[in-house]
Amino acid sequence: MLILLACTTPGDSAPTGDSTADTALADGSAWYGDVETIVVENCAGCHADGEVAPFPLSTYAEAQPMAGAMADAVSARRMPPWKASPGCNEYRGDLSLSDDEIARIVAWAEAGAVEGDPSRASGATAPTSSLSRVDFDLPMPEAYTPGAAPDDYRCFVLEWPETEGKYVTGYQVNPGDRGIVHHVVLYVGASENAQLYRDADAAEAGAGYTCFGGPGVVDQSDAEWLGGWAPGASNGDFPNETGIYMEPGSVVVMQMHYNTSATDPVPDLSSVDFMVEDSVANPAYIQPWADPAWLDGTGMTIPANSEGTNHSFSRTIPFSFRVHTANLHMHTYGQTAKLSVTQGDGTEQCLLDIDDWDFNWQRTYVLAEPLTVENPTITVECSWDNPTGEDLDWGEGTGDEMCLGTMLLSY
Ligand code: HEC
């Protein structure tokens, strides 16, 4: 509600008469024939009933009272929440607005947020979840009410139902209660370890077991990522006919990060929709990228009361492969993060560059074209401000930090 109250009051900028509308139309700054397409394509995927944003912006009636707030939010580039800096790479489903699009929303709001001529409706549609088929849905075994406050990290063991080897070719996490589900990470629990995860679950009272960062139980480096979800990040089909292999007898370990700082704990029953195939053109896996020493608690110290502390990690991989997606992860003190490649021949390529990190807006960026790399040196670098009186280091709690790149790779 706070957000709505902070926004322009409905009617503030309503057109006063036909002459305003005519002028606005002459300028092109009307809903129909102009800003409708921008707003529906770049805002309404989240700003729709049942989606992550707190109010809908799919129709003129919904957008008109919010025009002033929309103009503010797009001018300040708070909305849409697209954190990849321009000029680094190109991505599928890019929601960011051009300067011209921002100017048109602002002009529309300033000219009275007029409707224009409905016969000029563009037929634009909001982006929807791009999972093209659901083969099965794996829910948590039972509902769970977060106990630890405000952060509860809990792993749930989802039994993989297939009896033959399959490739996951897409997924969609369905958060049960969006008010408390902060983010979700999915891990492949290989069949030889599946019982260890079940045992960890059985050893703790209630559904699931406590886990920080990785799924626990096995060495972090043996816990292969399958995917994840954070607010605003859409899941869907994996790109470029890639798929991640799951052997029969495996489990999916679903790590939930619940945060109850803004609301009382309520029962959550989240689930994951999966699409699978017997074979794929490009078997792939998710490669995490961080200095192994950081994970052991050395080399990533962010001193107390410091600004702009920078840490980076580079390593050369002596093969060639293709990079399909890029993702960066820090916690709340992060300022900037970048994932980049120096090809064996010295060519520099940027995968993802975030220059105003926001913990609330994390997503996997799908490269518009997969990048073929040969003997590349891959670098992840991050910077932080630490206003606290304590040194920060790598860790799983929200008060700890991370600098983690992830990429979907295939050979
Ligand atoms: C990826 C999902 C997503 C997209 C895309 C998105 N929004 Fe939002 N928006 C949110 C969420 C969630 C909130 C509430 C939380 C917050 O303010 O961060 C919000 C809040 C807002 C607010 C009120 C708070 C503020 O920052 O002013 C406005 C206005 C707004 N959005 C406008 C827009 C417009 C205009 C677009 C398209 C140009 C857009 N949003 C695209 C998710 C989204």
Instruction: Report yes or no: 131 and 252 within 8 Å, Cβ to Cβ.
Output: no
Q: What is the pLDDT of residue 27?
A: 55
Query: 78: Cβ below 6 Å to ligand 1?
Result: yes
Pocket test for ligand 1, best of 37, 42, 79 (most atoms within 8 A of CB): 79
Query: 35: Cβ below 6 Å to ligand 1?
Result: no
**330 CA to centre of ligand 1 in angstroms:** 22
What does the longest C-alpha to C-alpha distance in the chain come to? 73
Alpha carbon nearest to ligand 1 atom 27, residue: 73
**98 CA to centre of ligand 1 in angstroms:** 16
Other C-beta atoms within 10 Å of 99: how many?
Answer: 7
- 136-280: in CATH 2.60.120.310: yes
What is the architecture of the domain spanning 286-410?
Sandwich (2.60)
Residue keyed to tokens 């770049």: 42
Q: What is the dihedral of CA 277, 279, 282, 284, to 10 degrees?
A: 70
* ω into 80 cis (within 30 of 0): yes
Query: 53: Cβ below 6 Å to ligand 1?
Result: yes
**62 CA to centre of ligand 1 in angstroms:** 14
Query: Exposed, middle or buried: residue 122 (CB in 10 Å: 0-12, 13-18, 19+)?
Result: middle
Interatomic CA distance for residues 166 and 249, integer angstroms: 11
Q: Which tokens hold the place of 159?
A: 């039994």
Alpha carbon nearest to ligand 1 atom 10, residue: 53
Question: How far does the chain reach from its first CA to its final CA, in angstroms?
Answer: 49
* Helix (H), strand (E) at residue 25: helix 18-27
Q: What is the pLDDT of residue 265?
A: 94
Phi, psi for residue 106 in degrees, rounded to 5: -65, -45
CA distances for 340 relative to 291, 354, 408, angstroms? 15, 12, 14
Atom of ligand 1 nearest to the CA of 105: 35
Instruction: Report yes or no: 36 and 101 within 8 Å, Cβ to Cβ.
Output: no
Query: 46: Cβ below 6 Å to ligand 1?
Result: yes
**180 CA to centre of ligand 1 in angstroms:** 19
Instruction: Report yes or no: 145 and 265 within 8 Å, Cβ to Cβ.
Output: yes
Query: 351: Cβ below 6 Å to ligand 1?
Result: no
Alpha carbon nearest to ligand 1 atom 20, residue: 53
Domains 136-280 and 286-410 share a fold: yes
Query: 56: Cβ below 6 Å to ligand 1?
Result: no
Q: What is the pLDDT of residue 4?
A: 28
**80 CA to centre of ligand 1 in angstroms:** 6
Pick the closest to residue 264 from 150, 143, 155, 144 (CA basis). 150
Each of the 411 residues of the chain gets a pLDDT tens digit; together they read 222 222 223 333 333 334 444 444 445 589 999 999 999 999 998 898 877 788 999 999 999 999 999 999 999 999 999 999 999 999 998 999 999 999 999 999 999 999 999 999 998 988 876 799 999 999 999 999 999 888 899 999 999 999 999 999 999 999 999 889 988 999 999 999 999 999 999 999 999 999 876 788 887 667 788 988 876 667 899 999 999 999 999 999 999 999 898 889 999 999 999 999 999 999 999 999 999 999 888 899 999 999 999 999 999 999 999 999 999 999 899 999 999 999 999 999 999 999 999 987 888 899 999 999 999 999 999 999 999 999 999 987 768 899 999 999 999
**70 by DSSP, 3-state: which?**
helix
Query: 146: Cβ below 6 Å to ligand 1?
Result: no
Interatomic CA distance for residues 24 and 111, integer angstroms: 6
pTM: 0.87
**54 CA to centre of ligand 1 in angstroms:** 8
**45 CA to centre of ligand 1 in angstroms:** 10
Q: What is the pLDDT of residue 221?
A: 66
Atom of ligand 1 nearest to the CA of 95: 5
Alpha carbon nearest to ligand 1 atom 15, residue: 53
Other C-beta atoms within 10 Å of 179: how many?
Answer: 16
Query: 232: Cβ below 6 Å to ligand 1?
Result: yes
**7 CA to centre of ligand 1 in angstroms:** 12
- Sequence ranges of the domains in the chain: 2-120, 136-280, 286-410
* ω into 150 cis (within 30 of 0): yes
Q: What is the pLDDT of residue 158?
A: 98
Query: 256: Cβ below 6 Å to ligand 1?
Result: no
Instruction: Report yes or no: 186 and 164 within 8 Å, Cβ to Cβ.
Output: no
Q: What is the pLDDT of residue 201?
A: 96
Alpha carbon nearest to ligand 1 atom 35, residue: 70
Report strand pairing: 224-229 vs 166-174: unpaired
Interatomic CA distance for residues 364 and 233, integer angstroms: 7
Query: 68: Cβ below 6 Å to ligand 1?
Result: no
